[in-house]
Structure 1
Amino acid sequence: MTHHDPGEKDSEGPISAVLTRRRVLAEAVRSRLWPMPTAAVLLAVLAGIGLPELDAVLDDHLPTEVARYLFGGGADAAREVLGAIAGSLITVTSLTFSLTLVTLQLASSQYSPRLLRTFAADRVVQRTLALFLSTFIYALTVLRTVRNDTVDAPASGFVPQIAVTTAYLLTVASVVALVLFLGHLVRQIRVESLLEQVRADTCATAARVLPLSSASADTTGVPVPEPPPHIVEATSSGFLVEIDHRALLAAAMQADAQVWVDRPIGSPVLAGTPVAFCWPSQPNAAWDNEVVETLQGQVHQALRTGSERTAAQDVGYGLRQLTDVVVRALSPGINDPTTAVHGLVACTAVLADLLQRQLGPYSLRDKENRIRVVVARPSFPDLLDLVCTQPRLYGTDDPVVLAAILSMLRDLAWTTTTAEQRTAISDQLGLLREHFADHGPTARRRLEYAARQVSEALERRWTPRNSGS
């Protein structure tokens, strides 16, 4: 069990509430299509109001060298230009939305519904939509300032040259962005690009929330005291998406208590069911109802649920996405074992990174080095079982898929650092061997050879793949 000191600065210590909330909020904003386009539209409105005002101030005061590069037509020409820009940009925006929705539908049906969040968080899509919408709104806003001369006021006409020229430049930028967007979309729907993006996001989350493993990590557990501790029940249903470590530690220290969070990040939670336990630090100490209710309320506030899992603190979410791609590729309707193999390769890369980090339950300590909070976290056997179980069951008829799983286990076996990790790999190897008998002699012989290579890698021996196969 990993322990963390409250003053220690590492990847998974008691992160400040402000930083934790900021990361979760940033993840929520990043995974939605509307925030960036909405901000761009607001800026476009301000620019559409401000630039014509600047035009009015600088009218007839611009140097000739500058003025000749600005729009030189009259009011009617300016209206035609701005109207054409607005009409064409709203059409292109509709096309972009349509292509994005088609891509989301493809990702959902072909790969996994869990990947929709990844597509929605695509910065290129968000910026392209923001540019198109802001150009459209900007052109409409500037259009209202264009005026013709009248008979009663011959000098009342106004053509915002700088503003119209800016609209032209935004249109050129939009055309370039459309070409780049189409190229990006083609790359994004490739399964290799999807898997790499999920892998990179998962490893980034692991680097942020999991410290590197060390030989000095505390492996002692916290005994559950007798009589049974006070139970903290969930107040809402959903997925546990955020744990405020500092708030938990502060609450436990204030009540002179110990708190055990029994659900890891990403776990489904049902309102009214236990999610945590708390008990006095001092043996046989008695609590009144007010202390218990206050502590339970503080724990409730520190454990936040949502309708879907996110990558802000959930390391297992990325592996769930990758495994879903593997399982979907093995379904009879798709039958794409090559994609399944690619997905297993991505899972291997993530698990290899997690081998170097501290997994399993971890504890938070006060300044006197007393354990105050214990938080559940998936162990390496849990994550390996997540990756192996469904591909093993659904890919049992395909020796290529079984060979890919064996290859993954071999690579992980070579990089293991603890007995727990080696035992987990050995257990998965035993489960795979049960499916070898379902194949013909040639395939069975190759699978047995690959299984022996996994066993050898666990013993720090590496045999060439074609040796004795």
Structure 2
Amino acid sequence: MSSPVRNLWSTTRDRVRSQLWPLPVAAVIIAAVVGVLLPHLDATVDASVPSWLGGILFGGDADAARSVLGAVSSSLITVTSLTFSLTVVTLQLASSQFSPRLLRTFTSDIFVQATLGLFLATFTFSLTVLRSVRNGSDGQIAFVPRISVTTSFVLAVGSVIGLVVFLAHLARQIRVETMLRDVHRDATATVDAVLDFLNRRELRSDIPAIPDRAEPVLADTSGFVTGLDHDAILSAAVDADAVVIIQTHPGSSVVQGTPLGRAWSPDGVLGASAWDRLQERVAHCVSLGYERTAAQDVGYGLRQLTDVANKALSPGINDPTTAVHALAHISALLCELGDRDLGPVVLRDPEGKVRAVLQQPDLAELVDSALTQPRRYGAGDPAVMSRLFDLLGELAWRFPTSQHPVVSSQLSRLRATVDAQNFDTVQMHQLEAKAALVEDLLANPTKKKDYPN
């Protein structure tokens, strides 16, 4: 799949799946269509229905059919209202107790969307079928769509079962362990999708230095970078005979009129009209939104996990156990990132000339963004400090030797934070012992087998 199509698909898919309404609305439309067509099928096949099937289908008269359909439709709209209320309460709890950025993860839950869709579809179908029931008054021919009424009954029973399962699912989803698992899973999926795609490009190969004559490429609007159209950027650079370096990456924020990157002509000549076209085309290749999304942002999952840890360490929540659990997921995700190539992406024209360079957040930046705030807000809790030392040990174990300076820098900062606290002697000795293990592992990578699991 080409880059433009892939970028459009990933961005659109993420936008749609994070909304509660698309699947329920689609279910309502389908139910309305089926509610119109199925009574016609009833009228066509009613006389030829086998006796054994006729005993299963609805057998009442028109008044009974209206009562059943009315009861189903009225009860389902009540159940749907209750479900929406429970969903809103859950969203409020997730936002206030854990992090506002977890709302996207919850609203992306296909089970919640499907349950709402089932309830609304049952209501719509029953109400639509009700229109076709006739009791023979006013010269009309009596008609009871037995298959349709039976279908409505089956949907109602399915909705009752769905409500019970939904409540059980909701009780499980509001647990912080489940939310952390879902965030970690989504973040891993983003890392796999984005970096597997990027690693098919050339990474860290002959990155040109930015000359003094380079001109800034300015953003045409403000927001968060949600995606980059690689092939379109390369095409714009080739057409203008220029080199473009995009210094922002998905997840970073930009302000209208500030630089997205730099561009210049290799031969030093780039006319005003050519520059204007290049500026416009490159700006349009950078997708901006009002919030970060997981479509191409490899650091978004880390941001969510870090926010949960920060919220748990706030005085109003004071839940260090949740922070420790979040740090465990952060460690696992950072270890996965340590196995990947996070270098800049170099795009070349058919002749092999470098035409575009797309910066990515490096491992040091991701580690720092994930650990700085929990280290600061959890400085007074020995359990949090202990888990941070364990996390650095896990990174030292998994990171290649070339990335050990990243861990060493974080270890020095963590030690300084611990030294500034008023822990008792036993706690200080325990933390120093953990720090010494990490330091020994960094100094002697061959001793990994001696590091406690």
TM-score (norm 1): 0.92
Gaps of 5+ in 1: 1-8, 10-14
* Paired residue secondary structure (1:59): helix
Contact kept, 8 Å, 1:264 with 1:377, in 2: the verdict is: yes
Quote the residue 2:313 is aligned against.
Answer: 330
Residue 442 in 1 paired to residue 442 in 2? Answer: no
Larger RCO (CA under 8 A, 6+ residues apart): 1
* Paired residue secondary structure (1:193): helix
Query: What per-residue deviation string (whole Å, max 9, x for no partner) do you get for residues 69-113 of structure 1?
Result: 110000000000000000110111011001100100000000000
> % of aligned pairs identical?
48
1:415-454 matched pairs, under 5 angstroms:
415-419=398-402, 421-437=403-419, 438=421, 439-454=423-438
Query: Aligned partner of 1:147: which letter?
Result: R
Quote the residue 1:137 is aligned against.
Answer: 124
Quote the residue 2:207 is aligned against.
Answer: 221
CA distance in structure 1 between the partners assigned to 2:264 and 2:234 by the alignment: 14
Residue 411 in 1 paired to residue 394 in 2? Answer: yes
CA distance in structure 2 between the partners assigned to 1:151 and 1:254 by the alignment: 74
Per-residue deviation at 1:436? 2.3
CA distance in structure 2 between the partners assigned to 1:359 and 1:304 by the alignment: 21
1:302-341 matched pairs, under 5 angstroms:
302-341=285-324
* Paired residue secondary structure (1:210): helix
In the alignment, which of 366, 388, 393 is matched to residue 383 of structure 1? 366
CA distance in structure 2 between the partners assigned to 1:443 and 1:136 by the alignment: 61
Contact kept, 8 Å, 1:234 with 1:271, in 2: the verdict is: yes
* Paired residue secondary structure (1:386): helix
Query: What per-residue deviation string (whole Å, max 9, x for no partner) do you get for residues 285-328 of structure 1?
Result: x1211110111111011001000110000011110000000000
Residue 102 in 1 paired to residue 89 in 2? Answer: yes
Query: What per-residue deviation string (whole Å, max 9, x for no partner) do you get for residues 86-141 of structure 1?
Result: 01101110110011001000000000000011111110100000000010011000
User: Cα RMSD (Å) of the superposition?
Assistant: 1.6
Per-residue deviation at 1:226? 3.2
Per-residue deviation at 1:435? 2.1
Residue 397 in 1 paired to residue 380 in 2? Answer: yes
Quote the residue 1:250 is aligned against.
Answer: 235
Moved more, 122-131 or 58-67: 58-67
Contact kept, 8 Å, 2:203 with 2:346, in 1: the verdict is: no
**Which has the larger helix fraction?**
2
Contact kept, 8 Å, 1:213 with 1:356, in 2: the verdict is: no
* Paired residue secondary structure (1:295): helix
Per-residue deviation at 1:218? 3.6
Moved more, 299-308 or 455-464: 455-464
Distance 1:445 1:244, change over 3 A: same
Distance 1:429 1:220, change over 3 A: farther
Per-residue deviation at 1:368? 2.4
In the alignment, which of 177, 181, 189 is matched to residue 204 of structure 1? 189
In the alignment, which of 261, 273, 280 is matched to residue 276 of structure 1? 261
* Paired residue secondary structure (1:60): helix
Quote the residue 1:374 is aligned against.
Answer: 357
* Paired residue secondary structure (1:315): coil
Contact kept, 8 Å, 1:48 with 1:138, in 2: the verdict is: yes
TM-score (norm 2): 0.95
1:151-162 matched pairs, under 5 angstroms:
152=139, 156-162=141-147
CA distance in structure 1 between the partners assigned to 2:14 and 2:203 by the alignment: 30
Give the total of aligned pairs: 446
Per-residue deviation at 1:396? 0.6
Quote the residue 1:362 is aligned against.
Answer: 345
Residue 45 in 1 paired to residue 32 in 2? Answer: yes
